[in-house]
Amino acid sequence: MENHKKRYEELVMLLNEASDAYYNGREEVMSNYEWDALFDELTELEAFTGYILPESPTQKTGAEENSGEREAHEFPALSLAKTKEVSELQKWAEERPVWISWKLDGLTLVLTYDKGKLTRILTRGNGTVGTNITYLKKSLKGFPLKINYQGHLVVRGEATISYTDFELINDTLEDEDEKYANPRNLASGTLSLDDPEKVKERHVHFHAFTLVYVEKDIKSWGERMDFLAGEGFTVVEREMVEAEELPKAIDRWTQKVESGQMDLPVDGLVICYEDTEYASSGSVTGHHATKAGIAFKWQDVSAQSQLLYVEWSCAASTISPVAVFLPVQLEGTTVSRASLCNISEMERLGIGKECTLEVIKANKIIPKCISVKNAVGDFEIPDSCPVCGARTQIRISPKSRTKTLHCTNPDCTAKHVKKFTRFVSKSGMDIDGLSIRTMLKFMNEGFLKEFADIYHLSEHAETIKQMEGFGEKSCANMMAAIEKSRRVHPVNFIYALCIPMIGIDAGKKMIARDGFDGFLDRLESGRGFEDIDGIGPEKSGSVMEWYDNSQSRNSLKALLKEVTIEKVSQSSAGGGKCEGLTFVITGDVHYYKNRDAFKAYVESEGGKVTGSVTSKTSYLVNNDLASNSSKNRKAKELGIPIISEDAFVAQFA
């Protein structure tokens, strides 16, 4: 019994340490797979010995730490009981109608509204007390700041960051200590930031999953979710089923994850009763309410495979290892690669030059190596960068003591991936299909060294088609988007050049004054731009310093051989075609590349573009003239002309 007690206390310590890191955005101590296995062992020991510590993770919810103001929850925000057996779900359902929804893997928030206004946002904290982050209300998506309902309302939901945004953000963080293990870790770290603008940049999205309190008699859980959706909340996806239908329904939902349809991080499903009055009749433990709902977590499936080699890939300044192994079938897909994170993780796992890997798909999505067998020899660390060939250097983080590999060349192309991201953005050259992850792949293959190389990717088309994540169609779509971008508005082109301190507004001012030829003339002659209103000596100096750099000059000259700069008139000379007019642009466009390009044209011609129709609007541009949208209705109500894009081009282009 003493040995059982010792192991039990060890498990409590290990799990609480991992839970603390998980809830507070710190480096991952163990995977969900490992945590679940240890939690199951802990539960079995508690049942066998009857020995239960109050600090056991079975007795309390996880809690995030935060330096913000702590406040008590009006209604306890407890965890859910969990199971991995569908039969347990059916037993819990008791032949009552139940709802299935995603168990989103983010940070739980509680929102309070009074008299139609959002008055408070609390993190879940320990379920009883949370941190007030109301100051971030304009930085998060998925909920309204004002609602039509005027009574007291409390809603609970999950704040998440998509896998797409997670990869983009992580790949541009140069400091290893700033990188995050997964989207949930990133969401937690993001909501502890003090700067609302930085939080806004990370696209945190709230999904309501429970209407905790409302001063209306709505007993149906489904109707409560519909009510929230009607008030403007993003509500978690859901489906109502009977208990006997649960096995097939669980299979359907699981298939959505296994097929790669989910960009949101999920770590299971949630089942709750349609009858909310019955759901509230259960008892409450320190950890969960017995009838509030039950979480279903998938049984993790692992596979073993032989390591072929370790591929080292450079992103920002960090060179990260990826295990490439013999393909195996895992969770319905073929897997042949898994990130090894860093040198410390390779050492922890015991990676050898040759070895057998045990691999899972974390949350059924991300391939992850969890153990190593039969290791022979030591893994090799490259002494040169795969992108630029410069010397590499091992660094040890002063905080986490994590060993990572870095490129020592400050001008390595991979370190400037943020610039490439700006270059292809909608405000820049607007090239679909070139995500940050894709461009990093191309950099590591040697396809991309400067901006102009994007226009020569067709030379590598056959190789690209064979790369993971590509095929005939996706490659063709990307090439078409690149070709389409060859014709560009001068303001978008200037933005794409990534000149320090020069954004869209500064570009508009420079083009409005002299046109694009004048812009080039000022660069070549050394005249600068400080005489232009709104530019001044600081911004002008930044442009000229950029142009004095031979790499910048050569990059500009190479680009001008690849693209055509659209001709636009100078509104400052008077008589711009849109001079003095205010436009609202809505819906899809076809003549202009996108609405940003449309807006840039209007402003270059002396006009103004706003987001809402008012009495000061001159024209509403909408290709769906018969639309019953709020903007069309408002324009008709005020007598504002509604014109198509073609009519605009005929009259103003």
Indicate the pLDDT class of residue 574, thresholds 50, 70 and 90. Answer: very low
CA 212/CA 279 separation, integer angstroms: 12
Confidence check: pLDDT of 508 > 90: no
How many beta carbons lie within 10 A of that of residue 70, not counting itself? 14
Q: Kindly state the DSSP code that residue 31 receives in the 8-state scheme.
A: -
pLDDT in tens, 521-540: 999 999 999 888 878 888 89
Contact 84, 39 (CB under 8 A): no
Contact 635, 614 (CB under 8 A): no
What pLDDT, on a 0 to 100 scale, did the predictor assign at position 587? 87
Higher pLDDT residue, 71 or 579? 71
Question: What does the pLDDT average to over 117-128?
Answer: 91
**Residue pointed to by tokens 């007598």:** 639
200 is catalytic: no
The count of other CB atoms within 10 Å of the CB of residue 486 is 11
The one-letter code for the residue type at 398 is P
Asked if the model's pLDDT at residue 555 lies above 60, the reply is: yes
DSSP track, 363-415:
TTTEEEEEEEEEEESPPP--SB-TTT-PBEEEEE-TTT--EEEEE--TT-GGG
Quote the distance between the C-alpha of residue 29 and its chain's center: 22
DSSP 473-506: HHHHHHHHHHHHTTEE-HHHHHHHTT-TT--HHH
Share of the chain above pLDDT 70, in %: 91
pLDDT higher than 90, residue 226: yes
β-strands 318-330, 403-407 pairing: antiparallel
Q: Interhelix angle for 2-23 vs 32-49, to 10°? A: 140
| Residues making up the chain, counted from first to last | 653
What does the pLDDT average to over 365-392?
A: 90
Q: Is the pLDDT of residue 569 over 90?
A: no
Facing residues of 211 across strands? 155
Pairing of strands 619-622, 642-643: parallel
Q: In this predicted model, what pLDDT tens digit does every residue of 328-364 receive, in sequence order? A: 988 777 889 898 989 999 999 999 999 999 998 877 7
Does residue 308 contact residue 325 with C-beta atoms inside 8 Å?
Answer: yes
Q: Which two tokens stand for residue 434?
A: 């070139």
CB atoms within 10 A of CB 135: 13
Query: For the chain, what is the mean pLDDT?
Result: 86
DSSP state of 141: B
Residue 376 has pLDDT above 50, yes or no: yes
Q: Which pLDDT belongs to residue 573?
A: 39
| Residue of 5, 6, 82, 103 marked active site | 103
Helix (H) or strand (E) holding 362: strand 354-362
HSE value, Cβ hemisphere, 13 Å, CA-based, for 79 = 16
Q: What is the mean pLDDT of residues 420-440?
A: 87
Residue 291 has pLDDT above 70, yes or no: yes
Lowest mean pLDDT among 82-91, 253-262, 282-291, 492-501: 282-291
> Does residue 450 carry a pLDDT above 80?
yes
pLDDT digits (tens, 9 = 90+) for 138-165: 999 999 999 999 999 999 999 999 988 8
Tens digits of per-residue pLDDT, 377-386?
A: 999 999 999 8
**Residue 66: predicted pLDDT:** 52
